[in-house]
């Protein structure tokens, strides 16, 4: 927010925005305007860069339009979590009255501040780990530590005598956020040592979280917009050969092999990037749930006006009740496994196959699981 902007020159709405922003200068302010949360000035430029949003402008009473970008209110949690995972604090400025009932300017104020340790979006958090906020209070004789997970209500309190024991507590809880009093910062302890150890944890968690949020935004894109497929003719056989080659190091670590059976130079007209994502997800899924030392099979068959691809692996049989839900958003087959994921991969794969006017199904019997993708030839492309 440019401090030099004379607030009296601005429109009433923008004056209201700047007054709120000045109270939360260390946050990106999501400001509710109708069905969107809007951001302006430096906040808009930051959010547009970090969230890959389109930067536009809004008339605000100055000669130049104020930089602006926004996100739909019903999809705000995914965008919030992505910003928080990158280290930003976000303030939510909400409408406090019904715009239809308001006389004059709608009353707005900040109702929530989101930080890594206060993120309440359960779908973006790892199911097997707590999301701890850790607080440090330094006194001349003791260091007080409190730890809380606001999503579960867990709360712990302890005291330690020195930085070594403090480091042990930080490593034990692996918090998403640390806050402390000023006395601790000037206490003479090696704060940078703590910062370096903590950041190594935070960056790893942020990277995992960013990958999940990318999937959330991807599924939101498929749900909320009309996706245009970019058709081109590809050599499906070569694409699959390349995929198997890229997965080989990962497969070998688990003692797995992958056998590809496909016609020589099978050509297909499709959106290559999107279908490659489908095949990548199916092979990754087969790798994750295969027994060690077994073989994954990819078979391609052309039959009349369609082509069928079958990804098969040997592992535990998927119960019928779970198989029925396997393409649902956020559904994870086995949340207790160590594999990372949001439960969105197969949902996105189904969306992509459906856009190609195809079908994807799953079958699991006697330890053999098969995902079959059927695509029309030329893959549902529009008539030329």
Q: Which domains does the chain have, with CATH numbers?
A: 7-114 (3.40.1170.10), 123-224 (3.30.420.110), 232-376 (3.30.565.10)
Per DSSP, what are the bridge partners of residue 259?
297
Q: What's the pLDDT at 236?
A: 92
Which residues make Cβ contacts (< 8 Å) with residue 287, sequence separation at least 6? 247, 250, 251, 254, 256, 296, 313
Q: What's the pLDDT at 250?
A: 85
DSSP 129: S
Considering only residues 170 and 263, tell me which one the structure prediction assigns the higher pLDDT. 263
State mean pLDDT over 59-71: 80
Q: What's the pLDDT at 339?
A: 45
Q: What's the pLDDT at 39?
A: 92
**pLDDT class of 74 with cuts at 50, 70, 90:** confident
Q: What's the pLDDT at 371?
A: 95
Considering only residues 151 and 134, tell me which one the structure prediction assigns the higher pLDDT. 134
**pLDDT class of 46 with cuts at 50, 70, 90:** very high
Is residue 169 predicted with pLDDT exceeding 80?
yes
Hunting for tokens 């330690």 — which residue is that?
Answer: 160
Tokens representing 148 are 């809380």
Q: What's the pLDDT at 375?
A: 94
State mean pLDDT over 39-50: 91
DSSP 26-51: TSEEEEEETTEEEEEHHHHHHHHHHH
For Cα atoms 198, 202, 207, give the angle at the middle one, nearest 5 degrees.
155
Is residue 272 predicted with pLDDT exceeding 90?
no
**Which tens digits make up the pLDDT trace of 245-256?**
888 888 988 899
Q: What's the pLDDT at 298?
A: 96
Tokens representing 258 are 């992958």
Q: Label residue 11 exposed, middle or buried (CB < 10 Å: 0-12, 13-18, 19+).
A: middle
Is residue 273 predicted with pLDDT exceeding 70?
yes
Q: What's the pLDDT at 207?
A: 55
Contact between residue 149 and residue 132 where contact means Cβ atoms under 8 Å apart: yes
**pLDDT class of 198 with cuts at 50, 70, 90:** low
**pLDDT class of 295 with cuts at 50, 70, 90:** very high
Least confident of 58-72, 200-214, 287-301, 313-327: 200-214
* Pairing between β-strand 177-180 and β-strand 133-138 as defined by DSSP bridges: parallel
């Amino acid at each position: 927010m440019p401090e030099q902007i004379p607030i009296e020159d601005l429109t009433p709405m923008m004056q209201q925005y700047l007054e709120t922003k000045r109270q939360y200068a260390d946050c990106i302010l999501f400001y509710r305007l109708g069905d969107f949360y809007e951001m302006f000035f430096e906040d808009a430029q930051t959010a547009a860069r970090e969230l890959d949003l389109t930067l536009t402008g809004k008339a605000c009473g100055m000669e130049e339009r104020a930089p602006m970008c926004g996100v739909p209110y019903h999809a705000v949690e995914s965008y919030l979590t992505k910003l928080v995972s990158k280290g930003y604090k976000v303030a939510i400025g909400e409408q406090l009255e019904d715009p239809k009932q308001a006389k004059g300017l709608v009353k707005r104020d900040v109702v929530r501040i989101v930080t890594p340790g206060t993120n309440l979006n359960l779908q973006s958090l790892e199911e097997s780990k707590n999301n701890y906020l850790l607080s440090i209070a330094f006194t001349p004789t003791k260091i007080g530590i409190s730890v809380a997970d606001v999503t579960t209500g867990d709360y712990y309190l302890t005291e330690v005598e020195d930085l070594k024991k403090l480091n042990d507590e930080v490593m034990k809880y692996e918090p998403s956020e640390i806050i402390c009093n000023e006395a601790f910062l000037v206490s003479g302890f090696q704060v940078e040592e703590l910062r370096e150890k903590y950041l190594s944890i935070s960056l790893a968690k942020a990277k995992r979280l960013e990958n999940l949020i990318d999937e959330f935004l991807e599924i939101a894109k498929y749900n909320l917009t009309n996706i245009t497929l970019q058709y081109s003719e590809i050599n499906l056989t070569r694409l699959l050969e390349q995929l198997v080659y890229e997965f080989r190091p990962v497969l070998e670590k688990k003692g797995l092999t992958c056998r590809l059976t496909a016609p020589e130079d099978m050509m297909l007209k499709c959106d290559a990037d999107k279908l490659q994502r489908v095949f990548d997800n199916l092979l990754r899924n087969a790798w994750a749930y295969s027994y060690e030392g077994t073989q994954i099979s990819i078979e391609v068959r052309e039959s009349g006006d369609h082509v069928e691809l079958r990804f098969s692996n040997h592992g535990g049989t998927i119960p019928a009740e779970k198989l029925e839900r396997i393409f649902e958003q956020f559904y994870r087959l086995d949340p207790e496994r160590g594999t990372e994921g949001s439960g969105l991969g197969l949902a996105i794969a189904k969306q992509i196959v459906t856009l190609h006017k195809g079908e994807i199904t799953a079958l699991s019997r006697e330890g053999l699981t098969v995902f079959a993708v059927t695509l029309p030839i030329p893959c549902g492309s529009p008539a030329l």
